[in-house]
Structure 1
Amino acid sequence: MDLDLLECFVAVAEELNFGRAAERVHRSASPVSRAVKELERELRGELFVRDYHHVELTPLGRELLPLARRVLRDVDHLKARAHTVTRAAPERAVRLGVSQLCPPLACESFERMIVEGMPGSHVEVVFGSGAELLSALERGDLTVALVQLPIGRPRLSTRTLVKLVTWVIMRRGIRSASGRR
Structure 2
Amino acid sequence: MISLVQLECFIAVAEELHFGAAATRLKMTQPPLSRQIQQLERELSTRLFDRTSRRVALTQAGRALLPNARRLLDLAAKAVSDVRSVGEGAAGTVTIAYTAMAGQAVVPDLLRRASAELPGVTLLLRELVSLDQVEELEKGTVDIGLMRPLLARPQISSRAVYRERLSVALPSDSALAQRGEPLKLIDLKDESLLMYSPSGARYFHDLLLSMFVASGVHPHIVQYAGQVPALLAMVSAGIGFTLVPESAERISPDSVTLLPISDADPSSRVNSVELDIAWNAESHNPLVERLLSLVDEVDDSA
Q: TM-score range by the shorter chain?
A: 0.3 to 0.5
Larger radius of gyration: 1
TM-score by length of 1: 0.48
Which is richer in strand? Answer: 2
Higher RCO (CA 8 Å, separation ≥ 6 residues) = 2
